[in-house]
């Protein structure tokens, strides 16, 4: 439809809206839960994080070993494809760069497939998890991440729509091709850049 | 046939308000792909200054229905639901795309159990209508819940189809069950070998219902969940 919708005014637009990608709204202090599966109850002591595939040294870290790595915090915004954004929040864990430094992805690696304990998967170009763009996190605003938000531990890739930030992540597999994950096989975009509004395949 | 993700213009055929918080929109959309029960459409509204807001709504109609039926719950300060519930009139044009979704879907060829809360029953209404039409209601079992019968879209249709209806706040609920939330005892009789379990509702409802199902022995991978965020 070329023109505006009859009689639609929309919510009040404020100067803060420059932080909102197109089609998103500010959810404020809330944090909606959107998951396609039953929430698993993970015991941290039994959880492990594996980096494998096209890497020089495949490695697996336990909960304790992950916590012994240098930690860092992401401070900023997150954007969900269902149109909410949460502004000015923070998460703490380990930068994916730390895991890549230890495992050394090969020159042939172009993409990553993240896998959760539930079997959920999501695909990412390697550039989107390097150079300070992605974390494995277990804390949100100073508190342990709750199970419905992916606790005890999830992937965080805040510059992409939030389905890329796989809850209950347990594995990053480096590949020489793009392999579609759960939502991507079901019609969602392979990259999911909120600023380009890449919600569905073809956007 | 046009791709589901292309934005198109639908014409509003009718708007009904079965309760103060609910609007049932029936949309005409030519040359659309036939949906599978459980799929949704995205509705996008555009203001004069180009500002847009879009939300997803599950389809309630059967695939064979010539129109697309969407049930919209009017949320507090909901900028899209408020517009759809109060401003939209028959003849209006709305920008939509769909049908979307390849996960929370059921084509009435395998056993399914649906557990829905409030407007979370909408995809199950599409499933029920489709199953009724092709004579396979034996494959579908439903348990639904709402605070009151007024908060339960399609209450009469669901009761008539034999759905278990749990009403949590109303002193005089329908006669087939006392007032109260869904319990494990409600779900046990619905368990079906080989079934897919569909759970749809608010985040809190979906969490409670999935834990109930797991508690009565359903394997987590057999459960598909659609949670509503507080998107307006």
* Interface predicted TM-score (ipTM): 0.81
Kindly tell me if the per-residue pLDDT of B231 is higher than 60. no
How far does the CA of residue B192 sit from the closest CA of chain A (Å)?
Answer: 18
How high is the pLDDT of residue B102? Answer: 84
User: Of B114, B105, B108, B104, which is closest to residue B162 (Cα–Cα)?
Assistant: B114
Q: Which residue has the higher pLDDT, A34 or A155?
A: A155
Kindly tell me if the per-residue pLDDT of B230 is higher than 60. no
Cβ contacts of A60 within 8 Å, gap of 6 or more: A48, A49, A50, A51
How high is the pLDDT of residue B71? Answer: 95
Query: Could you tell me if A107 lies within 8 Å of chain B, comparing CB atoms?
Result: no
Give me chain A's average pLDDT, please.
93
Query: Could you tell me if B30 lies within 8 Å of chain A, comparing CB atoms?
Result: no
* A 64-93 → B contacts, CB under 8 A: 80, 82-84
Kindly tell me if the per-residue pLDDT of B11 is higher than 90. yes
Q: Per mean pLDDT, which of A40-44, A131-135, B227-231 is the most reliable?
A: A131-135
Q: With an 8 Å Cβ cutoff, are A84 and B224 in contact?
A: no
Kindly tell me if the per-residue pLDDT of A55 is higher than 60. yes
Give me chain B's average pLDDT, please.
92
Kindly tell me if the per-residue pLDDT of B157 is higher than 70. yes
How high is the pLDDT of residue B170? Answer: 81
Q: Which chain A residue has the Cα nearest residue B220?
A: A38
Kindly tell me if the per-residue pLDDT of B204 is higher than 60. yes
Q: Decide: B88 and B74 in contact? Cβ < 8 Å.
A: no
How far does the CA of residue A149 sit from the closest CA of chain B (Å)?
Answer: 11
Distances (CA, A) of A154 to A16, A71, A80: 28, 14, 15
Kindly tell me if the per-residue pLDDT of B109 is higher than 90. yes
Nearest to B221 among A6, A119, A200 (CB): A119
3-state secondary structure of A79: strand
- pLDDT band at A1, cuts 50/70/90? low
* Overall size of chain A counted in residues: 203
pTM: predicted TM-score of the whole model, two decimal places: 0.85
Place of tokens 């992950």: A66
Best of A1, A4, A5 to disrupt the B interface (most B CBs within 10 Å) is A5
Q: CA-CA distance, A93 to B112, in Å (whole number)?
A: 40
Q: With an 8 Å Cβ cutoff, are B7 and A39 in contact?
A: no
Which chain A residues are closer than 8 Å to B76 by Cβ? none
Read off the pLDDT of residues A180-197 as tens digits, 9 standing for 90 and up.
Answer: 999 999 889 999 999 999
Nearest to A37 among B100, B225, B231 (CB): B225
Instruction: Please report which residue ranges of chain A form alpha helices under DSSP H.
Output: 63-67, 96-103, 182-185
Query: Could you tell me if A18 lies within 8 Å of chain B, comparing CB atoms?
Result: no
Kindly tell me if the per-residue pLDDT of B192 is higher than 70. yes
């Amino acid at each position: 439809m070329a023109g505006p919708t009859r009689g639609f005014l929309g919510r009040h637009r404020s100067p803060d809206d420059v932080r909102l990608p197109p089609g998103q709204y500010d959810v404020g202090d809330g944090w909606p839960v959107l998951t396609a599966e039953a929430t698993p109850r993970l015991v941290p002591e039994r959880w492990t994080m594996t980096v494998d595939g096209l890497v020089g040294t495949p490695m697996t870290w336990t909960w304790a070993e992950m916590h012994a790595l240098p930690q860092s915090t992401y401070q900023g915004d997150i954007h969900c494809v269902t149109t909410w954004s949460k502004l000015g929040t923070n998460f703490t864990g380990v930068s994916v760069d730390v895991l890549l430094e230890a495992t050394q992805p090969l020159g042939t690696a172009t993409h990553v497939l993240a896998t959760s304990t539930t079997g959920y998967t999501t695909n990412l170009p390697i550039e989107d998890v390097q150079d300070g763009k992605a974390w494995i996190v277990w804390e949100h605003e100073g508190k342990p991440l709750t199970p419905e938000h992916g606790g005890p531990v999830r992937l965080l890739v805040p510059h992409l729509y939030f389905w890329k930030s796989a809850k209950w992540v347990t594995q990053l597999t480096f590949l020489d091709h793009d392999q579609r994950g759960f939502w991507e096989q079901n019609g969602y975009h392979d990259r999911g850049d909120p600023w380009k509004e890449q919600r569905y395949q073809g956007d | 046939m046009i791709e589901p993700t292309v934005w198109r213009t639908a014409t509003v055929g009718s708007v009904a308000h079965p309760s103060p918080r609910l609007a049932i929109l029936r949309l005409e959309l030519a040359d659309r792909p036939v949906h599978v029960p459980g799929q949704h459409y995205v509705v996008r509204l555009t203001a004069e200054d180009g500002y847009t807001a879009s939300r997803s709504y599950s389809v309630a109609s059967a695939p064979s229905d010539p129109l697309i039926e969407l049930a919209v719950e009017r949320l507090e300060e909901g900028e899209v639901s408020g517009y759809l519930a109060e401003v939209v009139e028959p003849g209006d044009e709305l920008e939509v795309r769909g049908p979307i979704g390849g996960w929370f879907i059921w084509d009435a060829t395998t056993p399914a159990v649906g557990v829905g809360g409030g407007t979370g029953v909408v995809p199950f209404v599409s499933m029920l209508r489709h199953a009724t039409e092709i004579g396979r209601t034996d494959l579908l079992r439903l348990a639904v819940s709402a605070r009151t019968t007024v908060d339960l879209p399609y209450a009469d249709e669901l009761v008539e189809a034999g759905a278990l209806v749990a009403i949590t706040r109303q002193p005089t609920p329908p006669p087939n069950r006392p007032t109260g939330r869904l319990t494990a005892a409600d779900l046990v009789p619905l368990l079906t070998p080989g079934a897919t379990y569909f759970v749809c509702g608010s985040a809190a409802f979906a969490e409670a219902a999935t834990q109930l199902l797991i508690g009565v022995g359903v394997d987590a991978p057999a459960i598909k969940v659609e949670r509503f965020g507080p998107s307006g």
